[in-house]
Amino acid sequence: MSEYDLTDRPRRLRRDGVRDLVSETTVRASDLIAPVFVDATADERVPIDSMPGHERVPVEESVARVEEVLETGVEAVMLFGIPESKDAVGSGAWDEDGVVQRATRAVSAETDAYVLTDVCFCEYTEHGHCGVLEKGARSGGGLTVDNDATLANLTRTAVSHAAAGADMVAPSSMTDGMVGAIRSGLDRSGFEDVPVMSYAAKYQSAFYGPFRDAADGAPAFGDRRHYQMNPANAREAIREVRLDVEQGADVLMVKPALAYLDIVRAVREEFDHPVAAYNVSGEYAMLHAAAEKGWLDLEATAHESLLAIKRAGANLILTYWAETVAERL
Ligand code: PBG
């Protein structure tokens, strides 16, 4: 017997039958967005080695791929494109007949999926950076992304996605001013009702490794530290997010998720907008690698990851686990 009267026993509410009644957080299939990779250079589905269960699909297979997602109960997809060819500015990103535009037209015409599109250039530029490059004074002599020249291209890309039928556009290039530019471009083109989900606090993270294989968007030189956020900074994330809110962002995304749950929570507390978290490729791959060795239970750790992200304050989660977890719910 303990030294004092043990009246408060949290264990009482942990038994089956009651634990769900008192659970504070749930993961629902309708909270999840499944990433889908569409590859204009492929004529059959190509598995992505570092992301087991995921594949690049040809444009012609995009509807079938999205149908598979819908069957699990997940209702939303994020389309990423691998273009037929790349150039210096990433013009394939805003091509009316580009890979995402074609896939979006097909998927929105033939399925009930809610279609989000990634708006960025790293898959479309030869150099793999998220915009147009500039050399000179502002970049200290080296090559960097020309922020303001990139804005116009982001806007035309987002408008071309909306014109193809995208339900929401998601700019991920961390270009200053991107949300405002895209918002006014969409409005000028009659897409006032298409929301913008901003990758508002996107960090320069080593957890993106497998994605860069998947989408063929690794930078050919240097890294993204002059436009993506420094992992050391939390207060700066609030400043980043506030700028996007002021520019009209509808949904605020934090990326990555698991290593940045403090940021998810801070954004949740500071703003009233829906908060999204991107449970990125590295966070997916590492559980698979450990499970393959028999060190972790794959489905249990996947579900626990999503629960943690929701508990931190995210309303929606972009995750490679979407189908796996939804099927189990
Ligand atoms: C491109 C983009 C990246 C991811 C999503 N969009 C890669 C990057 O910034 O290097 C990474 C997603 C993931 O790792 O799952 N702007």
Q: Where are the alpha helices (DSSP H) in the chain?
A: 62-71, 99-110, 147-164, 178-188, 209-215, 235-246, 261-270, 281-292, 298-312, 322-328
Give the model confidence (pLDDT) of 127-155 as tens digits: 888 898 887 655 566 788 889 999 999 99
Per-residue pLDDT at 63 exceeds 60:
yes
Is there a catalytic annotation at residue 202?
yes
- Check residues 133 and 189 and name the one with the higher pLDDT: 189
Report which ligand 1 atom has the smallest distance to the Cα of 35.
15
Give the model confidence (pLDDT) of 210-253 as tens digits: 998 888 888 888 888 888 999 999 999 999 999 999 999 999 99
What mean pLDDT is predicted for residues 159-171? 98
Per-residue pLDDT at 84 exceeds 90:
yes
Q: For the chain, give the percent of residues with pLDDT over 90.
A: 86
What mean pLDDT is predicted for residues 97-105? 98
Does 12 reside within a domain?
no
- How far, in Å, is the centroid of ligand 1 from the Cα of 39? 16
Does 19 reside within a domain?
no
- How far, in Å, is the centroid of ligand 1 from the Cα of 220? 15
- Check residues 215 and 205 and name the one with the higher pLDDT: 205
What mean pLDDT is predicted for residues 79-106? 96
Residue nearest to atom 8 of ligand 1 (CA): 208
Degrees to nearest 5, angle at CA 182 with 177 and 183:
100
Domain that holds residue 189: 26-328
Does 60 reside within a domain?
yes
Burial class (CB in 10 A: 0-12, 13-18, 19+), 256: buried
Give the model confidence (pLDDT) of 263-278 as tens digits: 999 999 999 999 999 9
Say what the pLDDT of residue 151 is.
95
Report which ligand 1 atom has the smallest distance to the Cα of 80.
6
What mean pLDDT is predicted for residues 285-307? 98
Residue nearest to atom 14 of ligand 1 (CA): 208
Say what the pLDDT of residue 140 is.
61
Structural domain tally of the chain? Answer: 1
- Check residues 141 and 57 and name the one with the higher pLDDT: 57
| Site to substitute for ligand 1 among 50, 123, 208, 224, most atoms within 8 A of C-beta | 208
Say what the pLDDT of residue 220 is.
84
Say what the pLDDT of residue 246 is.
98
Mean pLDDT of the chain: 95
Per-residue pLDDT at 1 exceeds 60:
no
**Which residues' Cβ are closer than 6 Å to ligand 1?**
118, 120, 122, 130, 172-173, 208, 211-212, 217, 224, 280-281
Say what the pLDDT of residue 138 is.
59
Residue nearest to atom 9 of ligand 1 (CA): 208
CATH number (domain holding residue 116): 3.20.20.70
Say what the pLDDT of residue 137 is.
55
Structure tokens at 266: 């801070």
- How far, in Å, is the centroid of ligand 1 from the Cα of 16? 40
- How far, in Å, is the centroid of ligand 1 from the Cα of 50? 14
SS (H, E, C) 154-192: HHHHHHHHHHHCCCEEEECCCCCCHHHHHHHHHHHCCCC
Report which ligand 1 atom has the smallest distance to the Cα of 208.
14
CB 264 within 8 A of CB 286: no
Does 253 reside within a domain?
yes
Beta carbons within 8 Å of 182's beta carbon, 6+ residues apart:
119, 154, 155, 158, 169, 171, 196
Does 1 reside within a domain?
no
Report which ligand 1 atom has the smallest distance to the Cα of 120.
16
Does 10 reside within a domain?
no
Please give the Cα distance from 127 to 112 (Å, whole number). 36
Q: Tell me the whole-structure pTM to 2 decimals.
A: 0.95
- How far, in Å, is the centroid of ligand 1 from the Cα of 163? 24
Task: Write down the catalytic residue from 86, 202, 293, 310.
Answer: 202
Does 114 reside within a domain?
yes
Say how many C-beta atoms besides its own lie within 10 A of residue 136's C-beta.
Answer: 11
Say what the pLDDT of residue 46 is.
96
Does 316 reside within a domain?
yes
